[in-house]
Amino acid sequence: MPPKKIATMEDFAATVGLSRPTVSKYFADPDSVRGKTRDKIEAGLKRTGFRPNIFAVNLKRRRSKIIGLIVPDPTDPFYMTLAQRIEAEATAAGYLALVLSSNGRPEIEARAIETITALNVAGALIAPLGETSQRARLKALANEIPLVFVDSPLDDEGPFVGTDNHQTVPLLTEYLCRSGDQPAYFDTPQVNNNALDRRRAYVEAMQRLNLEPRFAPIAASKSFDFDKAAFAAAAQMLRDRSFPTRTVLCANDRVAFGVLAAMYQAGLKVGFGPDCDFRVAGHDNQRLSAYTCPPLTTVSQDCDEMGRAAFRMLLAGIESEETGRTRNRERILLSGERMLRKSA
């Protein structure tokens, strides 16, 4: 007769000759059982191929070994890199990272919040939509579990890890002013607090230099399709000859990609030199930034450290809740580094 299929934790416990609580204890933390017991369970797992339903197991506990991560755009290289780092940190600490996306839409953000709530997660990392975020739901969730905002804060309260825009944006603003024509700022749609903060950082840097801030107009939008929106706006401005200056500082690298594409299609040369029509710089140092044509001058965000710091902050919050200590309300702003390449 074929061997009986092992479908439940009880079946597996009976097969390896151990109690159900002992097996459950192993799946909660393999180091919590004796070495011989652990070896016996792991040999049984190899022999039977049994894998527990981790979600069902977690729902029976007071708190699971799952953390939630919600990002606004899963196709954005920055958020992809951030999610990879957080997943690696979570795995090393014995947690499962459940990555969900709001896809730039508040109703999908709401569903993502409902999902991580239903799974009884130990804590969550959120890159919020910003103006259209489910603020009331997120505030309520923060009262239930440890919550850390990453990349863009929801407001001025609560734990947060992100880039110090008032250090990074002036790095490029001041460099561009020293090395040539003063930069006009090419904004993103004002979708979150990060976008607003970078715009303010540019204005303050220009005012310190006693220069008038200038802006490349972009249509109002709640979309995270930054490159598409920037391409359309830049193409129109080139047709109208309405760029305020010949140097363009973009709010992020995806905006710069759209601007570079529009200038290429218009037959213009981007770079640093007397034969060039425009200079273009970005912000973020995404993976593709070194391989655009020409390679993009930008400023780096330490995405790996952002992921590490955010997970460490969340883990501290989880441990505080377990021990009854006050939750951490720390806010970490990371510095960036100027990356000079041929576009500016």
DSSP states along 76-94: SHHHHHHHHHHHHHHHHTT
How far is it, in rounded angstroms, from Cα 111 to Cα 101? 10
Would you state the pLDDT for residue 235?
A: 96
Would you state the pLDDT for residue 323?
A: 53
How far is it, in rounded angstroms, from Cα 34 to Cα 124? 31
How far is it, in rounded angstroms, from Cα 102 to Cα 114? 12
Q: Which two tokens stand for residue 237?
A: 């401005």
How far is it, in rounded angstroms, from Cα 325 to Cα 323? 6
Report the half-sphere exposure of 89 (CA within 13 A, side-chain side).
23
Q: Are 97 and 90 in contact (CB under 8 A)?
A: yes
Q: Are 148 and 161 in contact (CB under 8 A)?
A: yes
**Residue type at 186?**
F
How far is it, in rounded angstroms, from Cα 318 to Cα 312? 10
pLDDT in tens, 55-86: 555 544 455 789 999 998 888 889 999 999 99
Q: What percent of the chain has pLDDT over 90?
A: 54
**Geometric angle at alpha carbon 4, from 8 and 14, rounded to 5°:** 50
Q: Are 85 and 303 in contact (CB under 8 A)?
A: yes
Would you state the pLDDT for residue 247?
A: 97
Q: DSSP label at 316?
A: H
Q: Is 331 helix (H, G, I), strand (E, B) or coil?
A: strand
Would you state the pLDDT for residue 70?
A: 94
Would you state the pLDDT for residue 188?
A: 86
pTM recorded for the entire structure: 0.76
| 317 φ, ψ (degrees, to nearest 5) | -65, -40
Would you state the pLDDT for residue 1?
A: 43
Q: Is 184 helix (H, G, I), strand (E, B) or coil?
A: strand
Strand order in the sheet with 184-186: 215-216, 184-186, 247-250, 279-281
How far is it, in rounded angstroms, from Cα 150 to Cα 70? 10
Would you state the pLDDT for residue 55?
A: 53
Residues (pLDDT < 70) of the chain are: 1-5, 28-29, 53-63, 131-132, 220-223, 321-328
Query: Whole-number mean pLDDT of the chain?
Result: 87
